[in-house]
Structure formats: C-alpha cells, structure tokens
Structure 1
Amino acid sequence: MTNLGEQVSHLHDKTLMAAGGPPVAAPADRPGQQGHAHLLHHWIATNHFFNSSLWAEEDLARRTTVGADDIAQNKRAIDQFNQARNDATERIDEILLTELGLVDATSAHTDAPVSKVPAGARLNSETAGSIIDRMSIMALKIHAMRAQTLRTDVDDAHRSSSQVKLEKLLQQRGDLGRCLDELIADTQAGKAYFKVYRQFKMYNDPRFNPALVAEQQAKAQG
C-alpha cells in the first residue's frame, strides 16, 4: 500500500474530470470474495460518488427561487447520500483493516470485529477511511475552486484570490495524503492501529428517529 495517498488523489481527480463526474458505482461483494485491491478501489470510488452527489444536492438546497417542496426533496436526498457516503467509508476501513491484519476477516463487517492488534500499538482516533473521505471532499473543493480560476465573467481579482485558495487547498490535501501514508506505515510496523467506527445514523432509521416514531404511533392510533 505504498503511496496510497497519491493514488487516492489521482482517482478522485480523474473521476471528477470525466464527463458527468464520478460514475455510479456498481454493487460489490465483501472482502474475501474479490481481491482486496479491487474492492478497495471500488469503495473509494463509491464514497467519492456519494460525496459528489451530496455536494450537488447541497448547492441545490441553497436555491431561493424554488418552492419548499423542492428544498424538501433536496434535504431527503442529502440524508440518503450522507448515509451512503458513511457506509462506503466503513467498507473502506473494513478492507484496509483486513488487509493490514488488524482484524479477523470473517468478523470485519460486524459490529464486533475480532481484533488482531499487536501489543503496544497506539490507537489512532481517525481511521484511514475517514481520511480518504476527507480527501474526497477536498478533491471536490479543489475541482470547484479551480473552475473559479478559469472563469471569464469575473475580474482578475476574483481569479487571483481563487488561485491563492486553490494552492492552499492543494497543500491541505497533500497533508492529508501524507497523514494517510504515515498511518498505514505505522500500522504495518505494528506501531499503530485504527478501528471501524460505526456511524449508526439514527435520523434515517424509523426505529430510532423520535419524530418518525411519533408519526408511526400517531398513524397506529388513528
């Protein structure tokens, strides 16, 4: 997994430059049924697709010339894309933890994965998957800011300030990529480890969201 940060940045940029943006990812099997490299690439691309979809919906939700129904549809789409983005992040961590030998492969996708962490390794609070997720968002910011530097309907000051911001964003993404590579290297050396952190997004689940529970109870009583 040498230079994973550079590989992730390249994948993010390549898909954003493609016509239509990141492609819709097809379903994939769990680790062990296909090669880890193939699955890792798939779930990184899937995470990026849903981050891109989320970004587009967030823009639409800020419209001021449409009705409340349109904004409500945007909000529901945002919730769905955010859930899918988090699910993909968890899949990335499952695959990496399995490949790094930090969890038992058969339990990696459960809520209680069996740890194989070496004694003395430090726990890293941020997972590799969450760093990759942040790099995806950073790629979207870079893509959007680069577009600002190329606009012809604005003055030089706008393009110049956008270029300064673009360079800072590129630097920040480079920092994240190096942090990812250092975390992977430390885990391979037995110095560090990370876990899959389940998000348990309750607002999308009618069993846990109190507003949805109240709606169901009202329907049952009516």
Structure 2
Amino acid sequence: MISERCNQVFEQVIKDYHLFNDIDKTCENPYPAGSLDNLLYTKCWIDTAQWHMEDEVRDPNIAPVEALRWKRRIDSSNQERTDMVEYIDSYFLDKYKNVRPSSAAKINTESPAWAIDRLSILALKIYHMHEETTRANVDQLQLQQRKEKLAILLQQQKDLSLAIDELLQDIENGSKYMKVYRQMKMYNDPELNPVLYNSKK
C-alpha cells in the first residue's frame, strides 16, 4: 500500500531531521532521484523544517525585522512544498497514464499528492504531540489531554491512509480519474502580484 510506504518515509525523515534539529541542515536524501521515496523524503523534510520555522516566528519577544525575515522564509518554503506536491502528482499521472477511466468515472475532491501532503503534516503532529505526552513539567490532567489528542491524531492518520489507498485503487481501476490543477500562487509571482510589479516602476 502506498500510504504505508508514505508513513514509513515520513517517520524516517522526522527522525533524521531531529538528529540535528537544525532548520538550516541540508536535506541528504537517501533515495534514488526520480523515485517516489525520493519525492516523499524531500517533501517531508521541507514540511519538518517549516514546522520549526513556524515555531520560531511565534516567539512573543521576536523583533519585527526578525519576524519578517521568518515570514519571507516561510513563504519561500511554502512554494517549495507546493512544487513538491506537484512533482508527486506528476509521478502518479505518469504511473496511471495508460488507465482508461470508465464512462461513469468520477473526479476526487483533491489529488493524491495533496492528500499525501496532509499525511506528511499528520506525521509531524503525531511526533510532536507524542513529545508533549512525555514532558515532565506538566500536570497529569494536561498529560491526559495530550494523550487523548495523540489518540485522535493516530486515528486520523489511519483513516487518511485508508482513504489515500482507496483513491489510488479507484484511479488504477478506472472508477476515478486524476485531474490536476497546478497551483497559481499569485503573491509569489513578480508578474502577478501588483505590489511586486508596481515596485519596479
């Protein structure tokens, strides 16, 4: 099942990242270029680094200039994340390019890669919520609440994994079809964001 492999790679990435716990650490992808595992590893590494960027920018004592620096870095990371999702969808488009959908085939509300994107974020939530269940400086009520949240996240991971596998199976057997709309993030494009193109004048 694809979801099982996704979850394995995501867990590996998060473990690898936290060996260094350094936002600036270069991703050393252990998988062959062009493989699905390679795409998944890079995708989750971006997500993991960005998770920690989001922590940094929420420091209540952060200086405005430093906050803006983090905001721009997060924007750049978000663009990289979106690009990786599109690469993953391209992988599936190529994989299923010879499947002829049935006349009754339906389109899904999201593409496989965007569902996998949510699975990557869930892996991060699970890792960090688990950390919160082992903190020594919180009371038992807080620990219990965090354990309950962790249980919900684990169930959500199970449900989303099943949904992804079922979606890919439906695409493979022709009962659903892929149609990918490339993200058009106008605020990152110097030709489409009026603040950016007017600044050139």
| TM superposition score normalised by structure 1 | 0.81
Q: How far does the alpha carbon of each residue in 1:185-208 deviate from its partner, in whole angstroms, 9 at most, with x for none?
A: 111111001222211111111111
Structure 1: distance between partners of 2:79 and 2:176: 28
> Are the equivalent residues in 2 in contact too, given 1:93–1:128 (CA < 8 A)?
yes
**Divergent runs of 4+, >6 A:** none
Structure 2: distance between partners of 1:119 and 1:23: 47
Q: How far does the alpha carbon of each residue in 1:120-161 deviate from its partner, in whole angstroms, 9 at most, with x for none?
A: 321112110001100011111111100000111111111111
Q: Does 1:123 align with 2:107?
A: yes
Q: How far does the alpha carbon of each residue in 1:93-133 deviate from its partner, in whole angstroms, 9 at most, with x for none?
A: 00011112258xxxxxxxxxxxx645332111211000110
Q: How far does the alpha carbon of each residue in 1:50-105 deviate from its partner, in whole angstroms, 9 at most, with x for none?
A: 111221111111112121110001000110000000000000000011112258xx
Change (3 A) 1:23 1:156: farther
Aligned position for 2:58: 62
Structure 2 gaps of 5+ residues are none
Structure 2: distance between partners of 1:53 and 1:183: 29
Three-state SS of the structure 2 residue aligned to 1:216 is coil
Structure 1: distance between partners of 2:58 and 2:113: 29
Change (3 A) 1:57 1:199: same
Q: 2:136 aligns with which of 144, 152, 155?
A: 152
Question: What is the percentage of aligned positions where both structures have the same residue?
Answer: 33
Aligned position for 1:109: none
- The amino acid that maps onto 2:11 is D
- The amino acid that maps onto 1:24 is C
Change (3 A) 1:175 1:127: same
The alpha carbon displacement at 1:46 in A equals 1.4
Q: 1:14 aligns with which of 2, 12, 15?
A: 12
Aligned position for 1:51: 47
Q: 2:193 aligns with which of 209, 212, 222?
A: 209
- The amino acid that maps onto 1:210 is P
CA-atom RMSD, angstroms?
Answer: 2.1
Structure 1: distance between partners of 2:103 and 2:98: 11
| TM superposition score normalised by structure 2 | 0.89
Three-state SS of the structure 2 residue aligned to 1:141 is helix
Q: Does 1:24 align with 2:8?
A: no
Q: Does 1:192 align with 2:176?
A: yes
> Are the equivalent residues in 1 in contact too, given 2:101–2:173 (CA < 8 A)?
no
> Are the equivalent residues in 2 in contact too, given 1:142–1:169 (CA < 8 A)?
yes
Change (3 A) 1:102 1:216: farther
